Amino acid sequence: MKVYINGKLYDKSEAKISVFDHGLLYGDGVFEGIRSYNRLVFKLKEHIDRLYESAHSIMLKIPLSKKEFIEAITNTLKENKLEDAYMRVIVTRGEGDLGLDPRKCKSKESVIIIADKITLYPEKLYKEGMEIITVSTTRNAHEALNPQIKSLNYLNNIMAKIEATNSGYEEALMLNDQGYVAECTGDNIFVVRKNELYTPPECMGALNGVTRETVLDIARRLKIATHEHVFTRHELYISEECFLTGTAAEIIPVVKVDSRVIGEGKPGKMTLALMKEFKELTKKEGVRY
């Protein structure tokens, strides 16, 4: 495996950054997870746009133009001879001292691109649906760390994930500090009620996921009414269908939440239709390499 670091490709065993990098010391940086299908990087422009937005929000300068970044990603994929891949794209503040002050980071920002494969959930769960549980770890409040910033400081999600795995679940539902449904540890959440599609709005603590937006676009094209709407666990429990979305997860059905059966206890018709349309879209939308 070849890993891109600051303009050069290194063997995995030689891919290193400084222990004084503030991305390591403080989670001071941003990242994106990106998928490629049959040498097509899905929604690459959208992911790059969000990376630059996150960086701008934390006053982090990315030392590449968007065009250069896209070229670096596609070249890394070519060098690794990967047709289907998962990429982790990272930009850190760079090497500094042991203090918090980012002005002490004298070296330029670090840019890292890792191209590999990922299997987030077993195939069985896509066919039969998964069960999730609500955890006590609440989603970061906007006033503390805006969830729209996809930062390297992911401890909020990790603590929720630990709660889920300790309880024997693959994924956890996170509420915001007001008790409304926000999202899961690594995925956005959707429900179906009366043949209409609902997902929490960004102001509830949900990341504006690229797959989330893709699903909303597909639904509108299929003439399905869509709503970015506040809802509680009660509305979730009595929904007809539920599914999660994410770059790695794609679209995965949920059939039980907190031991409550959702709908008929199997992947619903709308969920299956959206999964099919999404798969078709991954064959034609993105940047070819």
Residues 276 and 135 in one domain: yes
Residue 8 lies in a domain: yes
Q: Is 287 a member of any domain?
A: no
For residue 286, tell me if it sits in a domain: no
**Does any domain span residue 54?**
yes
At 3 the pLDDT is: 98
Helix, coil or strand: residue 222 = coil
- Check if 106 is active-site: no
- pLDDT (tens digit per residue) in 198-245: 999 999 999 999 999 999 999 999 999 999 999 999 999 999 999 999
pLDDT the model gives residue 142:
85
* Three-state secondary-structure class, residue 126: helix
Within this chain, do residues 96 and 147 fall inside the same structural domain, yes or no? no
What CATH number should be reported for the domain holding residue 16?
3.30.470.10
Residues 271 and 141 in one domain: yes
Beta strands 250-257 and 130-134: pairing type? parallel
Instruction: Please check whether residues 63 and 109 belong to one and the same domain.
Output: yes
pLDDT of residue 66: 98
Q: Which residues of the chain are modeled with pLDDT < 70?
A: none
Answer yes or no: do 154 and 231 share one domain: yes
Task: Say which of 2, 43, 150, 161 is annotated catalytic.
Answer: 150
pLDDT reported for residue 178:
95
CATH code of residue 157: 3.20.10.10
d(CA 201, CA 229): 6
Decide if 57 is inside a domain.
Answer: yes
Residue 64's contacts (CB-CB under 8 Å, 6 or more residues apart) are: 72, 111
